[in-house]
């Protein structure tokens, strides 16, 4: 009974896969999960920015999370999805290999990210947690889209919208 009064807060994480790694995205940032569909390319965008898609009238930039993390580009398949997230009031999509499930993670089970020499830059991570025998890396979605990238996309979007309207 004493533990009920001192309940540890939990956060829900949508688990996604990139290659052999499993990541968590705060469920409160997730707006939609869509099957992979081709996007309209934006000229001069960074390689990890695939382009934009029209989401019920909103133009949404789409990033390939594998490319963002410096991994090899994967082949888009039936399990490839675009997770639409909100960061600072803006929508953007992240392409991932697959979506697994939603985890309830107790706040005291989140560990700090160790300084590790992996292919993923740890600046994109909030922490990690153990789920059974596997580790889930918790993403900091606020850091996936750099300020300079957001400015470049905003400048390019009117041109992309005009091109899409003509095409």
Report whether 16 contacts 136 (CB < 8 A). no
**Where do the structural domains in the chain lie, given as residue ranges?**
8-161
Tell the residue number behind the tokens 């991932």, with chain if given.
96
H-assigned helices in the chain: 2-5, 65-68, 147-166
Q: Which CATH number fits domain 8-161: 3.30.530.20, 1.25.10.10, 3.40.250.10, 2.40.50.180?
A: 2.40.50.180
pLDDT single digits (tens) 27-85: 999 999 999 999 999 888 888 899 999 999 988 999 999 998 888 888 999 899 999 99
pLDDT single digits (tens) 110-134: 999 876 655 546 788 899 999 888 8
């Amino acid at each position: 009974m004493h533990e009920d009064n001192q309940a540890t807060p939990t956060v829900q994480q949508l688990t996604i896969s990139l290659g052999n790694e499993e990541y968590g995205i705060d469920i409160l940032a997730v707006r939609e999960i869509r099957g992979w569909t081709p996007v309209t390319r934006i000229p001069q965008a960074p390689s990890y920015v695939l382009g934009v898609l029209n989401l019920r009238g909103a133009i949404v930039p789409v990033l390939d999370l594998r490319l963002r993390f410096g991994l090899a580009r994967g082949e888009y398949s039936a399990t490839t999805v675009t997770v639409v997230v909100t960061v600072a009031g803006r929508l953007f999509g992240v392409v991932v290999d697959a979506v697994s499930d939603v985890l309830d993670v107790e706040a005291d089970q989140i560990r700090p990210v160790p300084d590790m020499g992996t292919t993923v830059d740890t600046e994109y991570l909030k922490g990690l947690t153990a789920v059974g025998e596997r580790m889930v890396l918790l993403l900091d979605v606020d850091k996936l889209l750099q300020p300079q990238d957001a400015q470049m996309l905003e400048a390019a979007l009117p041109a992309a919208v005009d091109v899409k309207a003509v095409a």
